[in-house]
Amino acid sequence: MKIAVIGTGKTGGAVLQLLGDNGVAYDSKKKPTAEDLKKLDAAIVFVPGEAAGALISPLLTAGIPAVWGTTGYVWPDDLDEKVKKAGTHWVIGTNFSLGMNLVRQAIEILGRGAELLEQPKFSIHEVHHIHKKDAPSGTALSWKEWLGRDAEITSERIGDVKGIHELLLETPFESISVRHRAHDRKLFAEGALWTAEKLLDSPELEPGLYKFEAFFDQIFKP
């Protein structure tokens, strides 16, 4: 198995470490072409939002599965149609931590159960390293989406923090919090690699565009 790793920053670099000789690196100095990508089995993409648009065409032309960890980018409305036409599978995620999906289930329960509580008020706070350009983080936006409730999001950029997210639910009578902290970027690399491997091992999967959480639920059924 040979996988293209497009974007060799902190998370992409962690993916390359896990892949060893099975990873083929591409970055702004060595950009992948469709012909390059056709020779590989899949792609894992961790590039800034402004670099994503230029990669869509060569990846579609190559027709290989792709795992995207890009945030801060508005995906084209017709992307799912194009991926289906290419006969391949793409998974887009804001956070590829497998453990984060357990957190997601808890957040979804809190969102649904809030109607049982008196005057529930939600807030989300996220902290990342000073080099992260988008704020709020894609993960914080996903938490609000999973919650299905109005929630104020606040952000901090400090040092080399890998990622801290906390949801706080307050009522006049109690407070409930859910907190996730990443200790090593290999956490995200591990999840992205797991996703790529499952795409290659799931021939029955319908071609198209998947959100990571929906893909996770389809593959992992406790």
Q: What is the pLDDT of residue 133?
A: 84
Catalytic machinery residues? 128, 132
Task: Give me the torsion for CA of 72, 77, 78, 80, rounded to 10°.
Answer: 60
Kind plus residue range of the DSSP H or E element containing 144: helix 138-147
Q: What is the pLDDT of residues 23-56, one digit of tens each?
A: 999 999 999 999 999 999 999 999 999 999 999 9
Tell me the CA distances in angstroms from 150 to 101, 166, 183, one per residue in order: 21, 15, 29
Q: What is the pLDDT of residues 127-148, one digit of tens each?
A: 999 999 889 998 899 999 999 9
pLDDT surpassing 90 at residue 222? no
Considering the entire predicted model, what is its pTM?
0.79
71 pLDDT band, cuts 50/70/90, is: confident
Which residue type, as a one-letter code, is found at position 74? V
- Rounded to whole angstroms, the Cα distance separating 25 from 18 reads 13
All structural domains of the chain: 3-96+186-219 (3.40.50.720), 100-181 (3.30.360.10)
